[in-house]
Amino acid sequence: MQSQPDKLRALLTEDQIIVMPCCFDPLSAKLIAQEGFPLTFMSGFAASAARLGMPDTGLMSYGEVIDQGRNICSAVNIPVIGDGDTGYGNALNVRRTVQGFAAAGFAAVMIEDQVAPKRCGHTAGKAVVGREEAFERIQAAVDARAEGSDILILARTDARHGHGLDEAIYRAQRFHEIGADILFVEAPRSEEEMRMICDQLPGPKMANLVEGGLTPYLPPAELQEIGFAIVAYPIALLSAAMQAMTTALQQFKTGVAAPEILMPFDEMKTRIGFDDYFEAEKKYARRLSQKD
C-alpha cells in the first residue's frame, strides 16, 4: 500500500495545481475526502478555534496538536499536511516535532520562522526569528526526515511582513537548499509578488488564500499559470461552518423548528459513517451465526 507521504510526492509530480481545502477535525477532513479532494491540511487557525475556541496565537500545545492530527489522519485515506508552527522550541524540539507528526500519520509537516508564540500569518503582531535560527529549524526538520521519519517538509517564512519580499525569498531559497520539499512564502501582497516568488524559487510552492486576508484571491487556474503547485484555503470550511451554525441558532431564536440550512438526516448519517458501520456489523454478525 502506498504511504501517505508517497501519495503526496506523486501529487506534486502532476501538472495540475492541487486545490487544498483545510480541515480542523476528523469530520471536516472526511467531508473533504468525500468530495474528491486529494489533499488536506490541518489548519492551525481552524484547529485552535475548533478545539480550544481560542485564536491561533500559539495557545495549542504540541500534545494537543498531535492528538488532533492523529484523529484527523486516522479518519481519512488522503494525505494530510500538519501545521507544526515554530517546532515548539529549539532545533531539538523541531526534530521531535517532525518525528511526532510522522508517527501521527501526517504526510508533511509545516515548520515556520516566526517568533514563538506564533501568530496567524494574516493578523497583526507577528515577527520572525533571525536567519540562522530559521535555518536551524529547517535543518533539524530535514535531519529528522533523514533519520527515518517518512514525511515531507513544508518550510514557511513570514519574513515578508517585517523585512520585505527579498528577505522572504532569500530565506525560502535557503530552506530549499537545506532540503525542504515544499516552500511557502506567507502573505505576498500582490500578483506581482506572487509571480516573483514562483519565478525566483525552485521546487513546489504553496499559495495560501485567506478570505479577507492580505494575499490576492486568485482562481486556481491563474495560480497554476503563475507557478504554484498547491493552493490552500485555511479557514473557508471553518468560516462556512460558523456561518451555518450562527444562522441556524438565529433561526431557532425566531421560533423556526428546523432551519432550512440543515443537511438532511439520511445524508448526515451516511457522511459520518453509519452506513459503513452497519454494513460491517452485518458482516461480523453473519460470521458469528455461521460459527454457531
pLDDT tens-digit series, residues 3-51: 999 999 999 999 999 999 999 999 999 999 999 999 999 999 999 999 9
Q: Which residues of 195-216 are buried (b: 16+ CB within 10 A; e: fewer)?
A: ebbbeebeebbbbbbbeebbbb
Query: Domain-by-domain residue ranges, the chain?
Result: 4-242, 262-292
Exposed / middle / buried, residue 19 (Cβ in 10 Å: 0-12, 13-18, 19+): middle
How confident is the model over 213-262, as pLDDT tens digits?
899 999 999 999 999 999 999 999 999 999 999 999 999 999 998 888 99
Q: What share of the chain is helix, strand, coil (3-state, %, to 5)?
A: 50, 15, 35
Q: Which residue has the cell 506572487?
A: 194
CA distance 114 to 129: 6
How confident is the model over 53-96, as pLDDT tens digits?
999 888 999 999 999 999 999 999 999 999 999 999 999 999 99
How confident is the model over 89-115, as pLDDT tens digits?
999 999 999 999 999 999 999 999 999
Q: Give the pTM.
A: 0.94
Question: What are the phi and psi torsion angles at 172 (to 5°)?
Answer: -65, -40
Q: Which candidate, 167, 120, 193, 91, places its Cα nearest to that of 205? A: 193
Q: Which candidate, 94, 85, 98, places its Cα nearest to that of 56? A: 85
User: Within 13 Å, how many C-alpha atoms sit on residue 117's CB side?
Assistant: 10
Q: Which residues pair with 18 in a beta bridge?
A: 230
What DSSP designation does 216 have?
-
Tell me the residue ranges of DSSP E strands in 31-142: 40-42, 80-83, 108-112
Domain 4-242 is found in CATH 3.40.50.720: no
What DSSP designation does 19 have?
E
CA distance 280 to 3: 25
| Sheet arrangement for strand 108-112 | 182-185, 152-157, 108-112, 80-83, 40-42, 18-23, 230-233, 206-208
